């Protein structure tokens, strides 16, 4: 364990040193290259900033309005019929929208049910097999100016639904 801690503590300085040495060997001005990259990064941040503000506002409204609980209560008969635990639904619904909200929900699920419980294992698998779809689409399409995201959105949300269903099915058979 000490060796892994040592490796992780020297990883970033080692990478920086390798980049600097490569720049010196190639006779490149590393600092100017860094500054150009930082300027390009700021341009991208400025171009996607309005989209991110709108997305974060929508997440807060969804979380604080109580509509999430209403949606889960509405879905409960179908969830019971399919033998899908309702405890994972807040995670399944918010994962495509927000990484930080879904991490908080997954942490709460694991603290409440235990990390080795069936619910905890399903939550962990959902976290690993799904994506923060809306955020990713907003960042990537916004940074290059793509406006028509309808097909990207449907394909991505279908992949997220598949990840949630696969997580439930896999842990139903494994536990």
Instruction: Determine the Cα–Cα distance for residues 124 and 170; give it in Å rounded to an integer.
Output: 12
Mean pLDDT of 132-152: 83
pLDDT given at position 49 = 82
- Reported as a single tens digit per residue, the pLDDT across 70-81 is 888 899 999 888
Angle formed by the axes of helices 99-113 and 118-129, nearest 10° = 160
Mean pLDDT of 52-79: 82
Of the pLDDT bands very low, low, confident and very high (cuts 50, 70, 90), residue 141 is confident
User: Among residues of the chain, what percentage have pLDDT more than 70?
Assistant: 99
Dump strand ranges (E) for the chain. none
Instruction: Determine the Cα–Cα distance for residues 2 and 148; give it in Å rounded to an integer.
Output: 50
Instruction: Determine the Cα–Cα distance for residues 172 and 26; give it in Å rounded to an integer.
Output: 55
- Reported as a single tens digit per residue, the pLDDT across 81-123 is 888 899 999 999 989 988 878 888 899 899 999 999 999 999 9
Q: What tokens were used for 175?
A: 């536990």
pLDDT given at position 64 = 79
Mean pLDDT of 39-43: 91
Q: What tokens were used for 45?
A: 């941040």
- Other CB atoms closer than 10 Å to residue 142's CB: what's the count? 19
Torsion of CA 3, 7, 9, 12, to 10 degrees: 180
pLDDT given at position 58 = 76
Asked if pLDDT for residue 62 goes beyond 80, the answer is: no
Query: How remote is the C-alpha of 36 from its chain's centroid?
Result: 28
């Amino acid at each position: 364990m000490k060796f892994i801690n040592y490796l992780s503590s020297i990883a970033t300085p080692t990478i920086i040193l390798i980049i600097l040495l490569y720049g010196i060997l190639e006779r490149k001005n590393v600092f100017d290259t860094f500054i150009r990259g930082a300027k390009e990064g700021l341009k991208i941040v400025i171009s996607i900033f309005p989209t991110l503000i709108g997305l974060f506002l929508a997440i807060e409204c969804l979380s604080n309005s109580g509509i999430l609980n209403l949606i889960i209560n509405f879905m409960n008969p179908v969830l019971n019929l399919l033998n899908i635990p309702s405890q994972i639904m807040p995670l399944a619904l918010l994962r495509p929208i927000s990484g930080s909200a879904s991490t908080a929900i997954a942490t709460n699920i694991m603290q409440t049910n235990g990390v080795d419980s069936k619910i905890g294992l399903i939550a962990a698998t959902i976290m690993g097999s799904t994506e923060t779809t809306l955020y990713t689409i907003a960042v990537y399409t916004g940074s290059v100016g793509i406006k028509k995201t309808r097909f990207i959105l449907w394909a991505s949300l279908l992949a997220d639904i598949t990840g949630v269903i696969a997580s439930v099915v896999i842990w139903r058979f494994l536990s």
